[in-house]
Amino acid sequence: MRLEQLQAFIAVAETGSFQKAAQKCNITQSTISRQVQSLETDLGISLLHRHSQAKLTIAGEKFLGRARRICNEWDTATQELANLAAGHQPELCVGAIPSVCAYQMSPVLQKFRAAYPQVQLRLTALGSDRALKVLKDGLIDLAVVINNRFIAVSPEMVVDSLYTERIMVLMAADHPLTKYKVIPWQQLGAYSHVVFKDGYATQRLVQDQFRLQQLKLEAALELNCLDAFRGVIRHSNLIALLTQSSLSGVEKDLSLAVRDTESPILISEVVSVTTSDRIQIPPIRYFRQLVCELITSQNICNYNQSELLLNSL
């Protein structure tokens, strides 16, 4: 059963004539007749009485309503897809690591809203693992995460490298480790840490490095809020290993201090991830473009500022 068969049947039922139905559908009368006959063959029952005027059989009367609903559903579905391809979607959902949400997403959101004011934006701060999972589940359209082994290498995944940054040590301004300009890994193993909860790629990078150094990472507290890290650390002897972007503005806080780690220096790569089918949709394609342009350029400036901060220590 094909859509054009249903359309031909409906046209004949509504006009009561094969000739008028052909004119309505802008095709020949023989084509209309052939389509209705093939539909009846497929269904195994006659739908029309063929006299001077085409009238519905009992089967035709029962089938007409369903045929209309099928055609209406098809029209609705094709219109929805056309709207989607034209960029008329109701919302765009993005998941990003907390540092990107807090310090880097604002210019992207502003430019996107100016271009697509009708699209409702939903931005959620998520750990990298969780963001990738909800992307694969279809709950978000794009994720900004730390590159890690959970990003599946497959044809449908589109991954854009945004920037790389160091992982550095945050501590109170009067912490004993502030005597070091570059802190040895052995010293980092001597103090308790504030860490991200499971599912955050930064924490996995730190844990992997501690294992390589044959050190135990003593986790005293798990958090997932950047402001909470600062609040806890400034009033304790705890330390935290965080990315440079997570430490944005910390140089203005006289109660906190930042130091680099001794070699090997931990580096994290931040990437945007979406799927090839999603970037066919104009709002998602434009949002991805803004992320690649604005977050990358912004982090060149942030990196230079961090270098100046470290060199001043």
Confidence of residue 228 (pLDDT cuts 50, 70, 90): very high
Mean of the pLDDT values across residues 260-282?
93
The region of weakest confidence among 4-18, 51-65, 266-280, 293-307 is 293-307
Confidence of residue 303 (pLDDT cuts 50, 70, 90): very low
Is the pLDDT at 36 greater than 80? The verdict is yes
pLDDT value at position 306? 47
Counting beta carbons within 10 angstroms of the beta carbon of residue 75, is it exposed (0 to 12), middle (13 to 18) or buried (19 or more)? exposed
Are 219 and 243 in contact by the 8 Å Cβ rule? The answer is: no
> What string of H, E and C letters represents the secondary structure of 133-188?
HHHHCCCCCEEEEECCCCCCCCCCEEEEEEEEEEEEEEEECCCHHHHCCEECHHHH
Q: Which residue, 155, 148, 95, 83, is CA-closest to 119? A: 83
Q: What is the mean pLDDT of the chain?
A: 88
Is the pLDDT at 154 greater than 80? The verdict is no
Domains located in the chain, CATH noted = 3-85 (1.10.10.10), 91-163+270-306 (3.40.190.10), 164-268 (3.40.190.290)
Question: What's the pLDDT tens digit per position in 83-107?
Answer: 777 666 789 999 999 999 988 999 9
Question: What's the pLDDT tens digit per position in 41-74?
Answer: 998 999 998 877 888 999 989 999 999 999 899 8
Confidence of residue 297 (pLDDT cuts 50, 70, 90): low
- Please provide the DSSP assignment of 275-289 as one string: ETTGGGSHHHHHHHH
What is d(CA 146, CA 128) in angstroms, rounded to the nearest whole number?
Answer: 6
Given its phi and psi angles, is residue 300 left (phi above 0), alpha (psi -120 to 50 degrees) or beta?
alpha
Are 16 and 46 in contact by the 8 Å Cβ rule? The answer is: no
Question: What's the pLDDT tens digit per position in 162-177?
Answer: 999 999 999 999 999 9
* Tokens encoding 301: 């400036």
pLDDT value at position 75? 85
The region of weakest confidence among 17-21, 85-89, 207-211 is 85-89
Integer CA distances (angstroms), 114 to 144, 287, 288, 302, in order:
21, 12, 15, 25
Are 98 and 226 in contact by the 8 Å Cβ rule? The answer is: yes
pTM: 0.72
pLDDT value at position 88? 65
Rounded to 5°, angle at Cα 136 from 134 and 138: 70
Is the pLDDT at 79 greater than 80? The verdict is no
Rounded to 5°, angle at Cα 44 from 43 and 50: 95
- Please provide the DSSP assignment of 190-246 as one string: TS-EEEEPTT-HHHHHHHHHHHHTT----EEEEE--HHHHHHHHTTSS-BEEEEGGG
What is d(CA 103, CA 125) in angstroms, rounded to the nearest whole number?
Answer: 12
Mean of the pLDDT values across residues 201-228?
92
Mean of the pLDDT values across residues 12-18?
89
